[in-house]
Structure 1
Amino acid sequence: MGCAFKPASAAFGMSTAWVEDPWQVAEHDFPRAAPPEQQLRFLLNYAILAPSIHNTQPWRFRIVGSEVELYADRTRSLAVVDPEDRQLIISCGAALFHLQVAMRHFGYQPQVRLFPDPEDPDLLAFIRQGPPEPATLLDHRLFQAIKKRRTNRLPFEGRSVPEAELHALERAVVQEGAQLRIVQDQEARYALAELIAEAERRQMADPRFRRELAAWTHPARKQSRDGLPITARGLSEWLGPAGPLMVRTFFWAKGQVARDRQLAEGSPVLLVLLTNADTPLAWLTAGQALDRLLLQAADYNLSASFLNQPIEVPEVRSMLRRWLATEAYPQVILRLGYGPPVPPTPRRPVHEVILQHRYM
């Protein structure tokens, strides 16, 4: 478990609100003169701002000298929606990319080894703080996008996304070893929206799925550090503690299917991220590609949210592959466009995700 931590900045009167709320982290608090262990602990505040399925934040970290070990926290697995931990590992891949972006911004070259121990499937990566290296303009822009990025579940404006930006996002995904399908044509968007609705209908018909969803939903005013507020589920904050109970009902589920279909049909662009394989290594690759895409999209002032339902239902995932006419494996579905400002979802502080000993 984590231990008490007093940052060096506290001694100089700087704000340390980020110790409990990582969204408050400020780059001027980076302990430039401190040992690598303290620098890496600071950088983890940026890693844990990455997106994750249902905001489960399924990651743990251990710092050893100038190296970070990234572990999958399978105590946060979702047995119904993600029985193979595919989305869990994708989420960890996003945190891994966040950490690399932060490391580059502060002038260090990350050295990464994926799945370094064949005997330990929970150990996803070693990330070493490599030698000093000046950051590029893109490094800085991606870093600034970390705190801009949000998962925006509200309707988007109807205006189109510039083609140049879409092609840049495609190149970003390819750079990380994945593929991207861009779905803009109205007929194609409506067809994909139907697959989203079909998958979600099947999910919502399962009371186990609704219970799992409710377990990671909390009243909007509750000071929870993980999961999603009921407002993200399309419910009023005034429902209070009754909100998660509503999520368990088939009545709410039916309305949610209709809402998500409308979101898909009304978005100017839908994106499908794919990989050539469907293995834990491919999932970790997909997470890094997803994160590069999301950060670059945030830099363009674009909003995004997930519509992964067809990928979560095996039969519908097969239908999606046939519709895409591909042998590759869909890993993530996103909607992209221009959305209104939304607040960030909460995060657990670093001291809650730090390990003192190797994860067992």
Structure 2
Amino acid sequence: MTARDVDAPAVAALVADAVLAPSMHNAQPWTFRHRTGDGVLELRADLERAMPRTDPHDRSLTIGCGAALFNLRVAAAHAGLAPAVRLLPDPGDPVLLAEMHLAAAAPGPAPGPGTPGAEAPGPAPDAELAALHPAVRLRHTSRHPFTDQEIPEPVRDALCAAAAREGALLSFTHPWHGDFLLDLVRDAEARDLRDAAGREELERWTRLGAEADTAVDGVPDYAFGPRKSDGRAPWRDFAGRRPVAGQGSTAFERQPHLALLSTHGDRPADWLGAGQALEHVLLRATLSGLSTSLTSHALESVELRRLVRDPVTGEGPVQMVLRLGYGPPGTATPRRPVDEVLTFG
């Protein structure tokens, strides 16, 4: 299949998978543009969905876009394409985060023996990425308690390998460092309670009552999960001080399985790589029967973020804290319609 064979419905199907990626507060801070002339699909940051208080440098926004880019790669491989991706292709256009050539034009006649005029085959689709495709629609953030069951070493190794393939590092925390991270999350929660601007930003991206039934973005109340009555799992209380009908409370695990996703650098290209690594890990975890959730709570403060890195094994800035385990799957959250985020031209 060549670039000119990828028609509008096929492009829309790719984007429909891309937008299922996680993003901070489910803000979905991305748009896509298909350049029909050269078969390039652009991924752009939607800065109208930025969060100046909690994400002043658009780090989390860019990570979310990187996760959407990884879903695009998975969807393309599943569709039999072998796309070439360029990150940050135009320094003069900083919101253009990536370009994906959906298929390279088939090369000319193959040299040497063979049928005259025959075309050599193009690059093959990535079978490993294609195998992740079923998880794209199964992966949801779970804000429910997990069991205390250990994650087998082979599964941990596979998740670390998934991150490494995208140029990132995934490291599971030792219990003592996990306890320290939980303290940092509690510190972040306490700071949020005193920060009126932060509460206003959070409330902008939460959907309560009837609004949750028609929402196309944000975190609806049915995905908040129960309040903690006991336990120490890292967990952002999206309800805040607002009552949520039927939310209830329950005990969470006391020693959650936490993992840190780190990169070598801390610039936009690294954040895009972190987003791709994050989604690679989440999809692999989903296929391994794990439930997952994310917390960036302690990473939203410059002072706290410096402390998150493991002082023994930490090799770079931490971009995300993951909670993994065996428990109820997450609830699907709303998505913006494809025709709202995809244009052609």
The TM-score with structure 2 as length reference comes to 0.82
Equivalent-residue separation in structure 1 for 2:214 and 2:130 (angstroms): 32
Q: Contact (CA 8 Å) 2:141, 2:329: kept in 1 or not?
A: no
Equivalent-residue separation in structure 2 for 1:81 and 1:234 (angstroms): 22
**SS at structure 2 position matched to 1:222:** helix
Unaligned runs of 5+ in 1: 1-32, 237-245, 253-258
Opposite residue 165 of structure 1, the aligned amino acid is V
- State the match for 1:178 in structure 2: 168
Equivalent-residue separation in structure 1 for 2:281 and 2:81 (angstroms): 22
| 1:53 equivalent in alignment to 2:42 | no
Equivalent-residue separation in structure 1 for 2:253 and 2:259 (angstroms): 10
Match of 2:153 among 152, 163, 174: 163
Q: Structure 1 151/50 Cα, relative in aligned 2: closer, same or farther at 3 Å?
A: same
Equivalent-residue separation in structure 1 for 2:321 and 2:164 (angstroms): 16
| 1:139 equivalent in alignment to 2:112 | no
Opposite residue 213 of structure 1, the aligned amino acid is L
- State the match for 2:231 in structure 1: none
Q: How many residues end up aligned between the 2 structures?
A: 308
Equivalent-residue separation in structure 2 for 1:169 and 1:38 (angstroms): 33
Equivalent-residue separation in structure 2 for 1:140 and 1:77 (angstroms): 31
- State the match for 2:184 in structure 1: 195
| 1:290 equivalent in alignment to 2:278 | yes
From the CA coordinates, give the structure whose radius of gyration is larger.
2
- State the match for 2:235 in structure 1: none
Q: Structure 1 324/82 Cα, relative in aligned 2: closer, same or farther at 3 Å?
A: farther
Equivalent-residue separation in structure 2 for 1:324 and 1:81 (angstroms): 28
Opposite residue 100 of structure 2, the aligned amino acid is I
Opposite residue 221 of structure 2, the aligned amino acid is I
Moved more, 284-293 or 125-134: 125-134
Match of 1:278 among 266, 276, 279: 266
Q: Structure 1 233/62 Cα, relative in aligned 2: closer, same or farther at 3 Å?
A: same
- State the match for 2:323 in structure 1: 335
The TM-score with structure 1 as length reference comes to 0.79
- State the match for 1:219 in structure 2: 208
Report the CA distance between 1:343 and its aligned residue: 2.5
Report the CA distance between 1:356 and its aligned residue: 4.5
1:265-308 Cα shifts (integer Å, max 9, x gaps): 442x1010001111011100100000100110111011110121
Q: Contact (CA 8 Å) 1:90, 1:284: kept in 2 or not?
A: yes
- State the match for 1:100 in structure 2: 73
Equivalent-residue separation in structure 2 for 1:285 and 1:189 (angstroms): 24
Opposite residue 143 of structure 1, the aligned amino acid is H
1:138-164 Cα shifts (integer Å, max 9, x gaps): 333200110111111111111111110
1:74-94 Cα shifts (integer Å, max 9, x gaps): 000011111111000000000
Q: Contact (CA 8 Å) 2:147, 2:326: kept in 1 or not?
A: yes
Equivalent-residue separation in structure 2 for 1:298 and 1:87 (angstroms): 22
Q: Structure 1 121/335 Cα, relative in aligned 2: closer, same or farther at 3 Å?
A: same
Q: Structure 1 333/149 Cα, relative in aligned 2: closer, same or farther at 3 Å?
A: same
- State the match for 1:206 in structure 2: 195
Match of 2:298 among 296, 301, 310: 310
Match of 2:333 among 325, 335, 345: 345
Give the CA RMSD over aligned residues. Answer: 2.6
Q: Structure 1 49/323 Cα, relative in aligned 2: closer, same or farther at 3 Å?
A: same
Percent identity reads 39
1:23-47 Cα shifts (integer Å, max 9, x gaps): xxxxxxxxxx964343212211111
Q: Contact (CA 8 Å) 1:114, 1:124: kept in 2 or not?
A: yes
**SS at structure 1 position matched to 2:314:** coil
**SS at structure 1 position matched to 2:328:** coil
Report the CA distance between 1:61 and its aligned residue: 0.4
**SS at structure 2 position matched to 1:277:** coil
Unaligned runs of 5+ in 2: 105-121, 228-237, 244-248
Q: Contact (CA 8 Å) 2:223, 2:331: kept in 1 or not?
A: no
- State the match for 2:103 in structure 1: 130
